[in-house]
Chain A
């Protein structure tokens, strides 16, 4: 007799092994696939905010072309009326083009993935042996499913993250006294600290075993190299004096990054942060 929710929770602990191995196998497969696109969910999520407006803009342009708005500068008022009525149909007709555009974007992401494949396949061939032997009988993951696996482990503090990652990350405790820090790690590969102001993410810093751990594939218009006695970083953004992404390495081969989710950070502050991290 179940008398409370605790017993139901306990009973769930006795479910058939195949449902447990289904998840364990998924996570094991995910490790192999996630490293194929290093820290790979964020680029897709990030770039979606550019792809979707771009696709919408393309639809509008195609609708305008089809309705004759761009056919000449005369008769603007009648063209405008025509565009209004033709837009839904044009948008419908234009959808394959939009789809092609999206596929191109996806192909870019895939290309990025393939760039890193050589490196990661060597790592997975070494690291996946133990996971691969999980005695799993069931449906295999599609590549798309596997790419969605999240390898991050939430941690309570930096020490836990360091333990999971297997290396140290010198993040001063007072780096951002007014922000809340969230710590995460990928087993043997990466430490991430995300700074929030309330619900808003301000920026995140990473240290990992790859040279570029940013996971940021945006094409920035401004790029500069900053050297100091102890480090050299590439800072990228869309405006002079403001940085969206910084990437650098240390002499031991670890990669570091600082990325912003929303507003960029003043470049001077980014340099200051890098200095503090590399002390």
Chain B
């Protein structure tokens, strides 16, 4: 079923919307959650919560890109779940490593950002727009999807050291980008 048709089902408050969403994107969303949570039960819970949140969001929201809309919700829910004690006990997958790496971008761990979150979003989008495609995709796979360095290296047929180097340079550019846009480190 086309995404637009599924969205219409949500607007019509038909429960078929969730069924169709699960059928079309369930496995992909579970994969996104698994990368972050590294636990099947938690991942399933995150995906179920994604359907619920989507149900509550549409209407009024009408997503432009349904797959990205769902992916973002699953990612956020998965990160929320990591805050729960039981998830932390089971291990937080790649997230601690991601946080350590991202800390390089904010140096003293306190970045005053002018304006609200939307501005930071724009800075991040501008940074990604300026990245070369390979570096951008590696960055998004690592810091949005939470993929391991090893996995990214396999995906693009690169060595792990090359991926790490690419990420380090991207982080350095992001740091500069944040500073140039008025973010004081």
* Distance (whole angstroms) from the CB of B28 to the closest CB of chain A: 7
**With contact pairs A2-B106, A10-B79, A13-B79 given, residues A21 and B40 touching in the complex (Cβ less than 8 Å):** no
For residue A150, CB closer than 8 A to chain B, the reply is: yes
User: Is B99's CB under 8 angstroms from A19's CB?
Assistant: no
The answer to whether B120 touches A11, judged by C-beta atoms less than 8 angstroms apart, is: yes
A9 touches B121 (CB 8 A): no
Contact residues of A: prevailing secondary structure? helix
Binary CB contact string for chain B from 109 to 131 against chain A (1 if under 8 A, 0 otherwise): 11111000100110011001000
| Nearest CB of chain B from residue A162's CB, rounded to whole Å | 11
Stretch at the interface among A94-102, A129-137, A199-207: A129-137
Task: Give the residues from 108 to 143 in chain A that come closer than 8 angstroms, CB to CB, to chain B.
Answer: 130-131, 133-135, 139
* A-B contacts at CB below 8 angstroms, number: 138
Most buried by A among B25, B125, B144: B144
Residues of B within 8 A of A153 (CB): 31, 34
**One of B99, B124, B125 near A6 (C-beta < 8 A):** B99
Q: What's the least CB distance linking B47 to chain A, in Å?
A: 13
| A49 located at the interface, meaning its Cβ lies under 8 Å from any Cβ of chain B in the complex | no
Q: Give the nearest-CB partner of A163 in chain B.
A: B40
Contact B140 A2 (CB under 8 A): no
Q: Contacts A17-B68, A149-B155: A12 and B40 contacting too (C-beta < 8 A)?
A: no
Q: How many chain B residues touch A (Cβ–Cβ < 8 Å)?
A: 57
**When the two chains form their complex, are residues A19 and B140 in contact, meaning their CB atoms are under 8 A apart?**
yes
Query: Does A26 sit at the interface, judged by CB under 8 A?
Result: yes
Complex CA gap A1/B184 in Å reads 10
Residues of B within 8 A of A22 (CB): 136-137, 140
Establish whether residues B71 and A41, one from each chain, have CB atoms under 8 Å apart when the complex forms. no
Which residues of A lie under 8 Å from residue B125 when comparing CB positions? 15-16, 19
Interface residues in A7-62 (C-beta closer than 8 Å to B): 8-24, 26-27, 30, 41
The stretch among B9-17, B59-67, B160-168 that forms the contact with chain A is: B59-67
Contact A9 B154 (CB under 8 A): no
Question: When the two chains form their complex, are residues B69 and A15 in contact, meaning their CB atoms are under 8 A apart?
Answer: no
A239 within 8 A of partner (CB): no
Flag if A13 contacts B75 (CB, 8 Å): yes
- Are B2 and A24 touching (Cβ within 8 A)? no
Contact partners of A26 in chain B: CB under 8 A: 137
Query: Distance (Å) between the CB of B40 and the closest chain A CB?
Result: 5
Identify which of residues 62-117 in chain B touch chain A, using a CB-to-CB cut-off of 8 Å. 64-69, 71-72, 75-76, 79, 95, 98-100, 102-103, 105-106, 109-113, 117
Q: Give the interface of A toward B (CB within 8 A).
A: 1-6, 8-24, 26-27, 30, 41, 130-131, 133-135, 139, 145, 148-150, 152-154, 156, 159-160, 163-164, 187
Ordered by A's residue number, 7 sampled pairs between the chains whose C-beta atoms are within 8 Å are: A4-B110, A9-B102, A14-B72, A14-B121, A19-B136, A130-B23, A135-B64
4 residue pairs, one from A and one from B, having the closest CB atoms? A17-B68, A148-B157, A150-B154, A17-B65
Task: Identify the B interface with A (CB < 8 A).
Answer: 2-3, 23-25, 27-28, 31, 34, 38-40, 64-69, 71-72, 75-76, 79, 95, 98-100, 102-103, 105-106, 109-113, 117, 120-121, 124-125, 128, 133, 136-137, 140-141, 143-145, 148, 151, 154-157, 183
